[in-house]
Amino acid sequence: MAAKDTDCGLLLDMSQKTRGILSLITTFLWPPVCANCGRGICDSNHLCGGCWQEMHWVDRPFCPISGVPYPYDAGEDIVSPAVLADPPAYDKARCVALYDATARALVHKLKYYDRTDLAVSMGDWMVRAGADFLADSSVPLVVVPVPLYWRRLIGRRYNQAALLAKAIADQKELAYWPDCLVRRRATRQQVGLSDEEREVNVRGAFRLNETYRHSISGRSVVLIDDVMTTGATIEACARALRRAGAAQIFVIVFARVVESGRMPI
Ligand SMILES: [Zn+2]
């Protein structure tokens, strides 16, 4: 038994050494660079100091429901007037950053320039943003992305929200249901539409995939998207999940447009 333990210890030691050597070779061949600007940095999947500073990270104080940051500390658990006036279909939403220069550049690289590798670091930041509900082990969580219409999926070859959702599910070892929601019709690009037009554009555009009809009931869903602008798309998805019997709906988006900083997506 003692010999066996020693053998196991040696094997473990060797595999750790092998991993260390492989890591050194990888770092030598592909030195880590900033996820945004490509400048050389110490750790992979991070930002350089300049890009880090330019990112408007969202932190407390924010509305405990919508996650929209407050310009001043209104106090813990103070719900924003916007949420009180028009409560969302989701329970809680969180975002990593405001949708401006650096966050916008990262989203565009992921979405339009095949930088699918960015999903790992962006997903990592999203896990931190949603830490308060991702840490709650009392409810079985399932990670679901906002779907693309099939024609757009063929054109783009991948759904950026699904890549982020997969990265989050992998990191937290959660169930991942990429086809749980279905976009039942093509919607117009939300760019350039007013708030009302955006809401009408996506109303009734999502439904539950019937495969999940029985399994969704009583589950808590973590709904994932890259950007939230007016929240019309997230709201339409949350309503579809609520109608299907989801117990709780949490939302994590990478970046969020807030009124004063609205920029075209
Ligand atoms: Zn940089």
Residues with CB in 5 Å of ion ligand 1: 34, 36-37, 39, 48, 51
In a domain, 35, yes or no: no
**Å from CA of 63 to ligand 1 middle:** 30
Grade residue 120 by pLDDT with cuts at 50, 70 and 90. very high
257 and 154 belong to one structural domain: yes
**Å from CA of 48 to ligand 1 middle:** 4
pLDDT tens across 228-258, in order? Answer: 988 999 999 999 999 999 999 999 999 999 8
22 and 114 belong to one structural domain: no
In a domain, 47, yes or no: no
In a domain, 113, yes or no: yes
Using DSSP bridges, classify how beta strands 141-145 and 248-256 pair: parallel, antiparallel or unpaired: unpaired
76 and 115 belong to one structural domain: yes
CATH of the domain at 66: 3.40.50.2020
Say how many domains are in the chain.
Answer: 2
118 and 212 belong to one structural domain: yes
21 and 106 belong to one structural domain: no
Spell out a b/e string for 169-186, using b for 16 or more CB atoms within 10 Å of the CB, else e.
beebebebbbebbbbeee
Expressed as residue numbers, the domain containing 115 is 56-261
**Å from CA of 102 to ligand 1 middle:** 9
pLDDT tens across 160-192, in order? Answer: 999 999 999 999 999 999 999 999 877 766 666
pTM of the shown model: 0.84
In a domain, 198, yes or no: yes
Name the phi and psi angles at 113, rounded to 5.
-120, 25
134 and 21 belong to one structural domain: no
As a whole number, mean pLDDT of residues 75-88 equals: 90
Smallest Cα–Cα separation from 204: which of 164, 231, 230, 237? 237
**Å from CA of 46 to ligand 1 middle:** 9
In a domain, 166, yes or no: yes
Q: What is the token pair recorded at 8?
A: 């196991």
